[in-house]
Amino acid sequence: MRKEIKFSLLYRDMWQSSGKYQPRVDQLQQIAPVIVDMGCYARVETNGGAFEQVSLLYGENPNKAVRTFTEPFNKAGIQTHMLDRGLNGLRMNPVPADVRQLMYRVKKAQGVDITRIFDGLNDPRNIIPSIQYAKAGGMIPQASLCITYSPVHTVDYYVALADKLIEAGAEEICLKDMAGIGRPYSNGQIIKGIKDRHPNITIQYHGHSGPGFSVASMLEAANNGVDYIDVAMEPLSWGMVHPDVITIQAMLKDAGFVVPEINMEAYMEARRLTQSFMDDFLGYFIDPSNKIMTSLLVGCGLPGGMMGSMMADLKGMHNAINLALTQKEKQEVSLNNLVIQLFNEVEAIWPMLGYPPLVTPFSQYVKNIALMNIFAAAKDEPRFSMIDKDSWNMILGKMGKLPGALAPEIVELAKANNLEFYEGNPQDSFPNELERFRAEMRENGWDEGQDKEELFEFAMHERQYRDMISGAAKNRFNLELEQAKEKNLAPIIKKRPVIDIPMFSFEEITKEYPFAKPIHAPGKGQVLWQYDINDASTAPFEGSTIDKGNNLCYIQNQYGIEPVVTGYGGTIVGTYIKQGDHVEKGQILAFIN
């Protein structure tokens, strides 16, 4: 009989890899005891960045959600684990050190045992502080190796990285194969190399199903000494998610490993409940394509966890790209064709951008650059004409060191825009902020919460927390759900617009202003002409002038607030979007003449 291998259920990641939203707290309360009854899980992933931001988008307090979901597992002796983004904590942008330190104390108090710390660039400078903070907070630090496939990311590279992280205090190592493109043999050799050097270290394997390697990788992981394997369960297994526990259990049992038995009655009940959550409302926000595996991902390497947001972005940009193509008297493209274009563009520019592992947030940055390149090509503009602020921060090294070298044309583009490359420690650019948030909470009469969890949530997700407190988030979600239901019940027609028809005539604008150029939304979200969301006036800028590189407005999305920077100067004309309106990625915000 071979060694024992244990299973971890990724209930949070199952939802994130399928669509936009996670179950509400009342639904989590229903499913947790049934997961316990299945009897086959030693661990359950209970929360992470997207989980907490989604709770805020509902208008619910994520602190309650985490405590409610972890409690049954704590009582049953099942370990709980969370995902955190190292320097970025539970959000898409960097977090001050004092907020990062508080996070681990809060999460331990809420019932989370293990934190899976990863950095999208595999930069130890962003991971090692979190290892130390987690240990100080009483959590088990599990350091992740973000697995990808490139000339830079070799077996020796990953084994050497594991050595550094274990030396810094990591008690466990995770192979985070976020796109599932790690080759099975190489994954096995990484685990073997780590176990040869550190035989007592616990290793967990996490691999998405998308391109089809994951089952073979799990067998190679088992053959080379892995201790835990991450799995999913129907109706949200396979596709862009993870293999189902039934398949992996049967495979490992046949290979002679000791694996837990599955209470199939409880499995079917958990399956029924999960489907009921989808039928209730969550299914409205799941793209059917995320249920399909595709070998096209082998080349581009995009991760399963972002497929939901990627398809939403593509649908939002589809009309804008076709509008640009029509204006240039080119043939329109189908959504399927646009998907292939995006995959090909990601594959082409990834080496040029220094091979950042395609995991949050860097997968989003590379995808955004690729999508803007496709948009630029439709308008006969050059590649890299539109790069957002966060993507530039990645390129310039402000979030960590890129694994590979930047292409010369990217370096030249940075110089042409008078941008400087950063060589220092990324954390040094983000000074402590907790005292600022404490002072505001006192001024507002807000309680810092049990174990300071409200203070943490405010400091980690400032804008979303304000909207949750004010009720604005709940109102937005209710409106979004109502619209999603209406769309779902609408009669099927041959060609339905992906986004609402713009409130202006492109022909009329260009007739009056022949040289007017459109400014497009860089992402999906809520438009803020004034930074204060409560100012409901229309855009005040029409008729005024703006210089190239200035902020036209802001886009509030689930990750924060992004400025809309103009690529050219002139007079602003044709602003039809009101303060607080929701726009899709690529939607025209205004024209500059």
Note the pLDDT tens digit of each residue in 350-389: 999 999 888 878 888 898 899 889 988 988 889 998 888 8
Lookup result for tokens 């394509």? 289
Give the pLDDT band (50/70/90) at residue 500: very low
What pLDDT was estimated at residue 581? Answer: 75
Distances in whole angstroms, Cα of residue 174 to Cα of each of 399, 410, 592: 21, 32, 49
Residue 68: in which H helix or E strand, if any?
Answer: helix 62-76
Does 311 have pLDDT greater than 90? no
Q: 379 forms bridges with which residues in the sheet?
A: none
**Residue 278 phi, psi (nearest 5):** -65, -45
| Cα 78 to Cα 7: distance, rounded to the nearest angstrom | 11
| Cα 403 to Cα 198: distance, rounded to the nearest angstrom | 25
Residue 346: in which H helix or E strand, if any?
Answer: helix 335-349
Choose between 502 and 592: higher pLDDT.
Answer: 592
What is the mean predicted confidence (pLDDT) over 302-320?
A: 71
What pLDDT was estimated at residue 20? Answer: 84
Nearest to 475 by CA among 435, 427, 533, 530: 533
What is the mean predicted confidence (pLDDT) over 218-244?
A: 97
Structure tokens at 336: 């399927």
| Cα 527 to Cα 125: distance, rounded to the nearest angstrom | 35
Does 231 have pLDDT greater than 90? yes
Who contacts 217 (Cβ-Cβ below 8 Å, separation ≥6)? 177, 180, 182, 183, 184, 187, 188, 205, 207
Does 53 have pLDDT greater than 60? yes
Does 189 have pLDDT greater than 90? yes
What pLDDT was estimated at residue 509? Answer: 65
Note the pLDDT tens digit of each residue in 103-141: 999 999 999 999 999 998 999 999 999 999 999 999 999
| Cα 179 to Cα 208: distance, rounded to the nearest angstrom | 6
What pLDDT was estimated at residue 493? Answer: 40
Structure tokens at 251: 């495979």
What pLDDT was estimated at residue 563? Answer: 75
Choose between 71 and 530: higher pLDDT.
Answer: 71
> Judging by beta carbons within 10 Å of its beta carbon (0-12, 13-18, 19+), is residue 233 exposed, middle or buried?
buried
What pLDDT was estimated at residue 505? Answer: 55
Q: Is the dihedral of CA 226, 147, 92, 474 positive or negative?
A: negative
Choose between 312 and 275: higher pLDDT.
Answer: 275
| Cα 592 to Cα 575: distance, rounded to the nearest angstrom | 10
| Cα 139 to Cα 118: distance, rounded to the nearest angstrom | 15
Q: Is 174 helix (H, G, I), strand (E, B) or coil?
A: strand
What pLDDT was estimated at residue 559? Answer: 56
Buried b (16+ CB within 10 A) or exposed e, 352-381: bbbbbbbbbbbbbbbbbbbbbbbbbbbbee
Contact 584, 499 (CB under 8 A): yes
Choose between 430 and 529: higher pLDDT.
Answer: 430
Complete edge-to-edge strand list for the sheet that includes strand 588-592 = 517-520, 588-592, 570-573, 545-546
What pLDDT was estimated at residue 92? Answer: 83
| Cα 155 to Cα 223: distance, rounded to the nearest angstrom | 16
- Out of 54-63, 212-221, 528-537, the most confident range is 212-221
| Cα 144 to Cα 174: distance, rounded to the nearest angstrom | 5
What pLDDT was estimated at residue 328? Answer: 83
Contact 263, 40 (CB under 8 A): yes
Contact 319, 524 (CB under 8 A): no
Does 535 have pLDDT greater than 60? no
Would you list the domain boundaries of the chain? 296-428, 506-592
What pLDDT was estimated at residue 497? Answer: 36
What is the mean predicted confidence (pLDDT) over 85-110?
A: 95
What pLDDT was estimated at residue 506? Answer: 58
Contact 187, 206 (CB under 8 A): no
| Cα 277 to Cα 379: distance, rounded to the nearest angstrom | 42
Mean pLDDT of the chain: 88
User: Which DSSP state fits 301?
Assistant: -
What is the mean predicted confidence (pLDDT) over 499-509?
A: 51
| Cα 458 to Cα 51: distance, rounded to the nearest angstrom | 15
What is the mean predicted confidence (pLDDT) over 559-584?
A: 74
Nearest to 271 by CA among 248, 294, 245, 307: 245
Q: What is the dihedral of CA 42, 47, 50, 55, to 10 degrees?
A: 140
Contact 177, 260 (CB under 8 A): no
What is the mean predicted confidence (pLDDT) over 411-432?
A: 92
What pLDDT was estimated at residue 195? Answer: 98
Query: Could you give the angle at which helices 62-76 and 49-58 cross, rounded to 10 degrees?
Result: 130
Q: What is the pTM of this model?
A: 0.81
CATH class as words, domain 506-592 = mainly beta
Q: What does DSSP say about strands 114-117 and 79-84: parallel, antiparallel, or unpaired?
A: parallel
Who contacts 563 (Cβ-Cβ below 8 Å, separation ≥6)? 389, 551, 553, 554
Choose between 568 and 68: higher pLDDT.
Answer: 68
What is the mean predicted confidence (pLDDT) over 392-399?
A: 91
Does 478 have pLDDT greater than 80? yes
> Judging by beta carbons within 10 Å of its beta carbon (0-12, 13-18, 19+), is residue 277 exposed, middle or buried?
buried
Does 333 have pLDDT greater than 70? yes
What pLDDT was estimated at residue 413? Answer: 93
| Cα 293 to Cα 450: distance, rounded to the nearest angstrom | 43
What pLDDT was estimated at residue 362? Answer: 85
| Cα 68 to Cα 26: distance, rounded to the nearest angstrom | 9
| Share above pLDDT 90 across residues of the chain, in percent, rounded to a whole number | 58
Give the pLDDT band (50/70/90) at residue 19: confident
| Cα 398 to Cα 424: distance, rounded to the nearest angstrom | 8
Contact 317, 522 (CB under 8 A): no
What pLDDT was estimated at residue 307? Answer: 63
Nearest to 82 by CA among 16, 29, 136: 16
Q: Which amino acid is at 263?
A: N
